[in-house]
């Protein structure tokens, strides 16, 4: 019995060691991947355009939901299911449009830059780090363009999701949604202010009253 117990403990220990090594490899690989992505962004100087995609499309997502809410209010047909459904549908459409549009446009621009550089250097850059950077950053830009409006749209309609579940009243959902949208708009302005080293309050108010 003692020998069997020792064997069982040995097997458990070895399987635990394998899991730990596997988790360690995953962490190392993830860390390397993040470092590579950061390097690619710096190499192409793409930080600015990625931030612009995030801000502009996040703003579009918020204002789309605001438009749906205002339209429902003006027509006296405020229905939380309609507001949530229309907002999710619009955000999905914006996400697909944003991904395809950004991917095609960004890739075309970056490929043109590489070809211009190849002509200047009289050499192919097909297998270069620069080409890898273009591929990764193009996909990253498209993902940000797609996910930003979807993320901000979903956050904006969360109060109406609670109203559908009868957790809060429709009137309270309207009030919370307006406050939440105002906070999101102000936050986007504050983010721009941090980037440009400007007054946070001023930029936040600019975005809010827009």
At 112, the pLDDT band (50, 70, 90 cuts) reads confident
pTM for the structure as a whole: 0.76
CB atoms within 10 A of CB 71: 14
How is the chain split into domains, by residue range? 1-44, 45-209
At 14, the pLDDT band (50, 70, 90 cuts) reads low
Task: Give the mean pLDDT of 84-110.
Answer: 91
pLDDT computed for residue 29 by the predictor: 55
Q: Which helix (H) or strand (E) holds 149?
A: helix 129-156
Task: Give 169's DSSP letter.
Answer: -
Percent of the chain with pLDDT over 90: 41
Q: Is the pLDDT of residue 95 over 60?
A: yes
> What does R_g of the chain's alpha carbons equal in angstroms?
24
At 25, the pLDDT band (50, 70, 90 cuts) reads very low
At 24, the pLDDT band (50, 70, 90 cuts) reads very low
- Segment 121-164, tens digit of pLDDT: 777 767 777 788 888 889 999 999 999 999 999 999 999 999 99
Which of 106, 74, 68, 60 is closest to 87 using CA atoms? Answer: 68
Scan for tokens 């955000």, then name that residue: 91
Scan for tokens 């002509």, then name that residue: 119
At 30, the pLDDT band (50, 70, 90 cuts) reads low
Q: Where are the beta strands (DSSP E) in the chain?
A: none
In angstroms, the CA 174 to CA 160 distance is 7
Scan for tokens 């931030």, then name that residue: 51
Q: Under DSSP, is residue 125 helix (H, G, I), strand (E, B) or coil?
A: coil
Which of 180, 179, 203 is closest to 192 using CA atoms? Answer: 203
Q: Structure tokens of 150?
A: 């979807």
Q: Is the pLDDT of residue 31 over 90?
A: no
Task: Give the mean pLDDT of 61-79.
Answer: 91
């Amino acid at each position: 019995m003692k020998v069997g117990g020792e064997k069982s403990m040995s097997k458990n220990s070895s399987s635990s060691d394998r899991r730990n090594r596997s988790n360690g490899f995953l962490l190392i690989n993830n860390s390397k991947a993040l470092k590579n992505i950061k390097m690619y962004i710096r190499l192409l100087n793409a930080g600015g355009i990625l931030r612009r995609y995030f801000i502009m499309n996040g703003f579009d997502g918020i204002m789309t939901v605001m438009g749906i809410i205002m339209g429902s209010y003006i027509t006296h047909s405020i229905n939380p299911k309609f507001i949530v459904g229309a907002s999710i549908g619009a955000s999905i459409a914006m996400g697909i449009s944003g991904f395809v549009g950004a991917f095609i446009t960004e890739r075309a621009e970056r490929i043109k830059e590489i070809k211009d550089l190849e002509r200047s250097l009289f050499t192919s850059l097909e297998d270069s780090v620069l080409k890898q950077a273009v591929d990764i950053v193009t996909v990253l830009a498209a993902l940000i363009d797609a996910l930003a409006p979807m993320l901000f749209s979903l956050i904006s309609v969360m109060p109406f999701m609670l109203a559908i579940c009868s957790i809060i009243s429709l009137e309270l959902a309207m009030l919370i949604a307006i406050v939440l949208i105002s906070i999101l708009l102000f936050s986007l302005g504050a983010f721009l202010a941090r980037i440009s080293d400007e007054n946070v309050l001023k930029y936040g108010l600019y975005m809010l009253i827009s």
